[in-house]
Structures are given as structure tokens and as C-alpha cells.
Amino acid sequence: MFDCIFVSLKFMFMKKIVFLISVVMIIVSTSCNQKSPKPASEEEIVYTGIDSDKRLSKYVKVKLSTDISVLTENEKKMLPFLFEAAKIMDDIYWLQSFGDQASFTSKIKDENTRQFAEINYGPYDRLDNMFPFIQGFPEMPKGANFYPPDMTVEEFENLKDETKNSEFTLIKRNDKNELIVVPYHVEYESYLKKASELILKAAEYADDAGLKKYLQLRAKALLNDQYYESDIAWLEMKNNTIDFVVGPIEHYDDGLFEKKTAYESFILVKDKIWSSKLAQFNKYLPELQLSLPVMPAYKSEKPGVDGDLNAYDAIFYAGDCNSGSKTIAINLPNDPKVQLLKGTRRLQLKNSMRAKYDNILVPIANVMLDESQRNLISFEAFFTNTMFHEVAHGLGIKYLIKNKNIEVKTALKDHYSAIEEAKADILGLYMVDYLYNKGELQEVDIQSYYTTFIASIFRSIRFGSSSAHGKANMMRFNFFLSEGALIRNENGTYKINFDKMKIAISKLSAKIIVIQGDGDYQKAADWVNSEAIIKDRLQQDMLKLTEMNIPVDIVFEQGLSVLGL
């Protein structure tokens, strides 16, 4: 843009005036309006995909299965009810993220375009910064369907209803075009009532008392949006083999305020052998919290230790977690009150991890890493790094150090998710380093953990900058480059300086925790806006991955038939 200003001195003054007027108009529009794009009219839409074949090839299909012989007969009888309840979360998520699925996909004639729309739950490519891949659609509304597309930030702020900030309410317009607040359990009543009934039927077959209690409480919570009691019950059940995560959980789709949560569901089968290996690490949380490289005020909160670490095989994904890039680990509940009281449960989805490792991470490492370091990546390191990413969500700080009544996520607003994911990643590696030096992690060398971590950054960067995880990875990648912990070779591969990496890990951990503890929105915004981007040189280096048809993510073949039921 500035190159154009200096093309001719004759027009320099005029162009400066035009430029200044444009900036003022942008500022006024951004601060006062912040409306989402105008919805496309039906006449403007051509239900034909743009590069659908190429876009679909970004995903590799894998079967989502496990050894169901570990389940009792009653547990097998539970599954059909849980599968049907999970599918209802799919229906609700379509409504939240875009609209009615059937009326949309029925208009798409090309099979590859339809498949790609189903992967993305709408016409926006989640691995390409929400690019509208079906002709005629504008860019995705920042607030998805949680808010009216024509709502301004000023309108929202002037709405005199405290429940507008709830995670479990929609903002809509009434007949007078006024903003109103509608609870989830009212808006989606017919869906939730059916899901609740199915979960209660599944509970009848639960052999484990803890699982039965949780399912009964969760079925009730879906009907009133009161999840605290069922969250506690979920953390207290310890001996279940089947696990069922269901409800409105993550807020990544709310690009306006990161307030509203999206419905999703996981059906999981515990791997008790792997889980037993992980049980020992939970006891180190208080010690790890105190070891953080920050001033005492920033690590004064005591993490709950009643949560646990477990490994699972996933057998079904639905809703938010199944859209675009797939989750390979879970850290729940998100309620900070529950976290400080009880901790969290960290669920490592082993079969999904293995699919990403084999099909994506290994091929990427063989292209992007210095040849001398490629042999250092390992599945053990990938699993452990992912596990401690989830553990690290429970460390650091949840409430501002100068005002314990304000949550960090409230202070950091739309940049909270990117900062929080960056924290979880880097604190996870900090914890790995700490426990390795204590002799608690000896399966592979510490260099393997570092190298696998960097290889995974290249994997996650490909999710795009519209993803909180993608932003977090770019912020860390650029930080490592600036610190000399990561060095670019002339051939476009990257080499790790292990000594500088160790220093950079501590330095970056401290930076993030201080931003969160201070609730410094401006610092968070400046960092995200300047560093959560894929710079030109890296973009060129990573083109090799596309040229070699290395997939970006996985898509599932899943269901009862895949399990042989």
C-alpha cells in the first residue's frame, strides 16, 4: 500500500489525504459498527465448490475403532443410546455454526463439495482461515449464529440483560428488532429433551455407579444449562471404562467475544494399561506450579489435584470437536471454580493421536526438519507433549492478581484462546523438561521431546490463523526464531539449537503468565496481531508439504458398524 503512495511525487499529497480518510473510515467502522458481513441472498449463491477436490485432499480418512472386548455386555448396550445422543449434538452445532444442515447440503450437487461442507459444518474452510469455498457466500460472521449477523458491538454493550454474558445463551432479535437473550435450553429444547431421554436410557445399563450418577446429572443439566453438579460428578467417577463428554463446551466459534459455547460430544473407551502409566503425574501439579519461572504473585493459585490423567480410544466425535481439525486430547471441565476445587480430567485420545502421528507428523518432519534431527521424533514424545499441554491448562493463573473477581478469559476477551493455547503448549514443554530432569520421564531423550514439539508446530500451523491453536503455534514459532532457538537452513529446513531452546521455553512461559495475570489486553492484542501470522518465508517453505500431498488433518469413518456392533 505504501509503495503506491510514493510512485509519483505529483500525487503524493492527494494520496496521503485519501489514505488518511480511508484509515478514519476503517476506525469508525470498526469501533462503532463491527457488523458481520451481510448474509448472502439465495439468488447470489451458486452451490458449487471452489477447488473442492483439492480441499478435500487435505484430509486423510481413518477408522475410529477400538477393541470392544474390554466392554461388558451392559456397556455395549449403552453405546447405541450414546451414539444417538451424540448425533443430536451434531444437529445443534450445525444450527450454532451455520444453519440447518439438510436444507443446505441438499442443494449441493457435487459429492466432494458436499463431503467438504459436512467436514466443515458449513461453507467455510476451517483450515483456510474460514474461506467461503461455496460461491456466493460472504465471509463467515464473526459471531457465527450466536448473535444476529447485523448486531454491532455497541448494541450488545447497551443490552440491559446480565445473562447476555452467559456461556449458555443466544442473542436474537424480537418482532420489534430489539436484541433479546434466549437460553440454550429454551432455543434447542426439542433437541435437548430427546438427547436427555437417550442419556437416561444409557444410564440404566451403567455398571459403574459413578458413571450412572454422572449420566443422570448430565441429562438433567442439558435441560436447564446448570452444569456445575454434573461436572463435579464427572470428575469424581474413577472406575468407568466408557466415558461420554456431552454439552456446550468450547467457545472457539464465538469470534466476537469468545463467550458462547458450542455443543459437542465424545464417546470414549478407557485404555486402562496406558492410563495406569499416567496416574503418577497428577501429584506433581503443586510442585510444578511453584516451579514456574515467574514472581510468586503469578503462581499463587493452587491447582486442584483431584482430577486425573487417562488414555482413551475415541469411538465417536460429534459437533464442535468434529469440525475441521480434530481434537486429540481433552482437558475439562472449563469452569475455573471446578478447576480450583477439583482439578480437571485430561483425556489423551490415543488412537486419534496415532493416526495424526503416522499420517501427518512423520511425513512433515521428514520435509521440514534438518536431516540430522529427523530421527529424534517419536510417538512417545508426541503423546507426552500432548498430555502435558492439557495438564498445563490447569497451571498458571485463572483470576487476575490485582482483582480476584475477574477471570483471565474475561480480561483478555477475543485474544484469550490464542494466549491460553500458547500457554498450554509452552508450559507443557516446560513441565516435560522439569520432570525429565527429575528422572520421571526417561522413555526418550529430552532432545526427542523438543524435536517432536517443533515438528508438531509445523503440523498445527497448517490449521490456519483463524484457529486459536494455529495462532498460538505461530506466536511460539516466531518467538523461537527471534531467540535463536530455531534456525532456518538455506534449503528451507529448520534446525533446533537445544541450549537456546531451553532458555526460550522459560522466557516464553514467563511472558505469557504475566500477560494473563495482569489481564493486559493491549499486550495480548499487540502480540497476537504482530506474531500470530505465517510470514512469507515460512509460507514458501511449507508449500513443499502441499506439493507432496501431505494431509493437513484427519476425518473419521465412525459409528456402530465400524465397531462391529
Q: In the chain, helix, strand, coil percent, each to 5?
A: 55, 15, 30
Using alpha carbons, list the distances in angstroms from residue 420 to 183, 249, 402, 450: 27, 16, 19, 20
Q: Are 205 and 75 in contact (CB under 8 A)?
A: yes
Report if residue 137 sits inside a domain: no
- Tens of pLDDT along the chain (565 residues)? 434 433 333 333 343 333 333 433 333 333 334 444 455 566 667 788 899 999 999 999 999 999 999 999 999 999 999 999 999 999 999 999 999 999 999 999 899 999 999 999 999 999 998 999 998 899 999 999 999 999 999 999 999 999 999 999 999 999 999 999 999 999 999 999 999 999 999 999 999 999 999 999 999 999 999 999 999 999 999 999 999 999 999 998 999 998 999 999 999 999 988 888 777 787 888 899 999 999 999 999 887 666 678 999 999 999 999 999 999 989 899 998 998 888 888 899 999 999 999 999 999 999 999 999 999 999 999 999 988 887 888 888 889 999 988 999 899 998 998 999 999 999 999 999 999 999 988 889 999 999 999 999 999 888 776 678 888 999 999 999 999 999 999 999 999 999 999 999 999 999 999 999 999 999 999 999 999 888 889 989 999 998 999 999 999 999 999 999 8
Q: Is residue 66 included in any domain, yes or no? A: no
Per the structure, how many domains does the chain have?
A: 2
The reported pLDDT for the residue numbered 42 is: 64
3-state secondary structure of 489: coil
146 is a domain residue = no
Residue 231 within any structural domain of the chain = yes
Whichever domain contains 193, its CATH number is: 3.30.540.30
Model pLDDT, residue 44: 63
Instruction: Report if residue 309 sits inside a domain.
Output: yes
Residue with cell 463435579: 232
Q: Rounded to whole angstroms, how far apart are CA atoms 403 and 400?
A: 5
Task: Give which of 417, 397, 402, 430 is closest to 507, Cα–Cα.
Answer: 430
At 38 the pLDDT is: 52
List the domain range (segments joined by +) for residue 9: 2-32
Query: pLDDT by residue (tens digit) across 71-121?
Result: 999 999 999 999 999 999 999 999 999 999 999 999 998 999 999 999 999
* Rounded Cα gap, residues 337 and 121, in angstroms: 32
The per-residue pLDDT for 468 is 82
Q: Does residue 142 lie in a domain region?
A: no
Asked if residue 180 is part of any domain, the answer here is no
Q: What pLDDT score does 120 carry?
A: 97
| Residue of 231, 197, 167 lying closest to 416 (CA atoms) | 167
Q: Is residue 298 one of the residues assigned to a domain?
A: yes
